Structures are given as structure tokens and as C-alpha cells.
Amino acid sequence: MFNTKKKPEKKPLKIIIVGCGKVGRTLVDKLNQEGNDITVIDQIPERVEEITNLYDVMGIVGNGASFSIQTEAEIENADLFIAVTDSDELNLLCCTVAKHANCSTIARVRKPDYINEAGYLKEQLGLQMIINPDLESATEIAKLFYIPSALEINSFAHGQAELIKIVVEKNGLLDGKTLSEVFTNCKNDDEKILVVTVERDGNVIIPNGDFQINADDKVTFVLPKRHRRAFLNRLNIQSVQLKSCMIIGGGITSFYLANQLIHMGLEVKIIESKPDRCRLLSELLPNAIVINGDGTDEILLREEGIDITDGFVALTGIDEQNIFLTMHAKKVSNAKVVTKITRENFKDLIDSMDLGSVIHPRTITSEAIIAYARAKRASLDYNNIETLYHMYDSRVEAIEFKVDSQSLATEKPLKELKLKDGINVAFINRNGRIIIPNGDDKIIVGDSVMIVTTNTGFTTLDDILN
């Protein structure tokens, strides 16, 4: 018997967000769309006024670490407390004060000194999450260097499955082929993959087997991580690890990235304009080459080998410079290029440019926090979401559900389920084994299931049914 009890109305989370900067505003935008009860706190009145004018949220002007301010925000009723000010110390203090109310706390922390002690801080301060935009961005970039042809790589099922986005090359193995033609001979487990989305001319499509792939399509497919190399080699997609990388800008993200790339065996060169920062990076990264100079100087870039580097990452603090540098690198080299963009506006213009892989630190940070918020909400109602990731500027959601009871979607072959339009069952995680399903596979209790959909607001597996 499957569960036929009437589900209670979805209970909104009571969330307090301290810090109304870029990340705070992004969080308010996303979490407010999901119907949560939000209160924002900031010491700058103009920031609070702007957000409360744009969104149906409560605003308080004051110090988020103040007990009286938190009491005014009704901390005793809060489910989640998020501190994302520009100060690591203030964020940690805010969460320490908030713990008296026994609500879950998340702090944004950027300094390497604190990150090296993240486990200790979480234990001692009772934090549910420490989120570091710079470290998360660096990790995303480093993953891309494992598969230079990929635009994006996202991990699910505790790292056992991956969503990989690529651009289809003209006259390549995928160009002009239907999905059935490309994958009809994929009989072995190490060859099975599923194309979950295709972006063409700005439109996102959930394809079926008759869909024809064309050159310049942006195709996202899912596969077990352990089979990644075999499949990419089958499609002649470059999967050889790069040997060298040039990084423009010596900020915190550059430090984290260089450290990871060095451990991957890459030769790393950093160009930074501030002498003091160069000296510090030279001390912290003795195996990297640190150049004191103007990263936008064409002559300097040529002298330092921009034309022969395998990877090029623009990490200055100015979006326009990063875009300009990436376009120059693509013109003079065959490097894998990655561009950091901090702004959220002009997305259509940025997407129309050939900037390689684009990293949005603010989005990476907010996605991690929103995923936790949804999991927290799951504990309050029938929501069984384990992981949530927004794709294509939130036009597509990749949702991982935990199947803990029988329902209308379980114990039946997938081909017998009447699914809503715009849905792909991407994979089934059964006891750690990733199954790329076909129509004969079934979802059973104990599985985790990844759904990729152009619909929004799914909270249970049964939401996929028509």
C-alpha cells in the first residue's frame, strides 16, 4: 500500500538574513519566491529600505549580533539564521548569539585562516554550515580543468553522479544526430548516459530520443562519475588534464584555486598588480610563479606565455576586465578559459559572448544555502528533497529526492508512469550504485532519484506525475 494520507500544507520557514549586500539580496530573492517568511537585518538603512520595497519581507536596521535586535526579529521562532555580511568575525558572532534560540545557523566566512579551522568552528559554535564563496568558486573552476571541454560540472549523489554541460562542435560526433542514433549502441553500464537538457537559441529543451542535436547546442548529460572518462573518450571529448594555468588577479579566490591546481600537478602562474599581495602569495604558494604586473598589459601577457598556456582564468575584481581578458585569451591561444562575473544583470548579453565557462560566486553561494534551506524545510513537512540545483538562470531545476516510502511513482516501470511535460528522470541512486534508467527500470523505496525539469516548486517525487 502506498501512502494515501493527505499532505499538510507546506510549512514556510522562518528565516533571518543578516547582511543585505549582493549575496543577501540574492538569497532574499530566491527564498522569498519559495514562500518563506523572511526578516532582513542590516546596519545601513538604505539597504534595508531597498529590499523591503522590492520584496514582501520584514526589515530591521541594526547590528545583527545584538541580542535585542535578534529578539526584535523574533529569533526564538526562527528556523534558520543566515549571516552574510562582509565581515567574517561579525558573521560568526551573529551565529554565536543566535544559537541561544536553538535555530540552525549558517555563516559566510572567506578568510583562509578561518576556513582552515572550519571543522573546529562548526563544532564549537554549533554552525550547520560555513559557506565560503571564494573557496566554492575555486573548487568549481578546478573541476572544470579535469574536463576542459565542459562548460559546467555539477555533482550529485554525494559525488557519485555528475551533470556535465558541453557545446556541440560542428561536424563532431554529436552534430546532426538524434539521441537514439548516438546512444543506440550504449549497452554496457560504462557507456550509459542520459541527455537531460539542450539549450538552443536561448531556449531550454527536455529532449526525447527523436531529438536531433545540432552544432552549437549546449547539451547537459548525466552519467556515473566512475564512467566519465570512458564515455568522454567514446565521444572524442577532450578529457586530458591540463598542465599549466595563468591566473589574472591575486585575490582570495586565486589563492584557493592556485592551491588546488598545484595539488593537481599544474604549473600555476599568477599576475597581480599589488606588490604586497604578490609577496604574500609567494610565501603562501612557494610552488607557484607570482608576477607583479598589470594583468591587462598585452605585452606582459605575451611575455608570460598567454599563447601557450593550457588554462586561463580571469579573476580580477572588475567584470569588464575579466570579459576583456577572456576574449583576448581566446583570440591568441587555445587555452581553456574561465571568467568570473560578479554582477547578475546583463545576463543575456554575457550569455551571447563566447566567454568559455562563466563562474558567478554569488550564485554558487546562494545555491548552497538554498539547498540547505530546502532540506531544512523537508524536515518540517513531506518534502523529501536532498539536493537542489538551478540551471540555465533558474529556468531548469535538478532535484534529488530521497524515496522513503511507497507512492504513486514507485514500484512501476518508468514507461508506465504518466509524467508531466518537461521532466527527465536522470538517474536512480540505489545503495550507492548510479543507474541511468530506461523505461523498464523502477523506483523503489530506499532509492534517491534525480529529476531534471523545466517545472518549478516540486517538493515530493509524486509532483512529477501528471
* pLDDT value for 30: 86
Fold match flag (14-131 vs 139-234): no
Superfamily of domain 139-234: Regulator of K+ conductance, C-terminal domain (3.30.70.1450)
The tens-digit pLDDT sequence of the chain (466 residues) is: 344 444 445 578 899 999 999 889 989 998 988 889 999 999 999 999 999 999 999 999 999 999 999 999 999 999 999 999 999 999 999 999 998 888 899 999 988 888 778 888 888 888 888 999 899 899 989 988 888 888 888 888 877 888 888 888 888 878 888 888 776 555 555 557 788 899 998 889 998 888 999 999 999 988 888 877 777 777 766 566 789 999 999 999 999 999 999 999 999 999 999 999 999 999 999 999 999 999 999 999 999 999 999 999 999 989 999 999 999 999 999 999 999 998 777 777 777 788 888 888 888 888 888 878 877 776 665 457 777 777 877 788 888 888 988 889 999 999 999 999 999 999 999 998 888 888 899 999 999 999 999 987 787 888 899 8
* pLDDT value for 321: 95
* pLDDT value for 239: 60
120: left (phi over 0), alpha (psi -120 to 50) or beta: alpha
What's the pTM?
A: 0.78
Note the CATH number of domain 14-131.
3.40.50.720
Domain boundaries, the chain: 14-131, 139-234, 244-359
For 244-359, the fitting CATH number among 3.40.50.2020, 3.40.50.620, 3.40.50.720, 3.60.15.10 is: 3.40.50.720
* pLDDT value for 4: 42
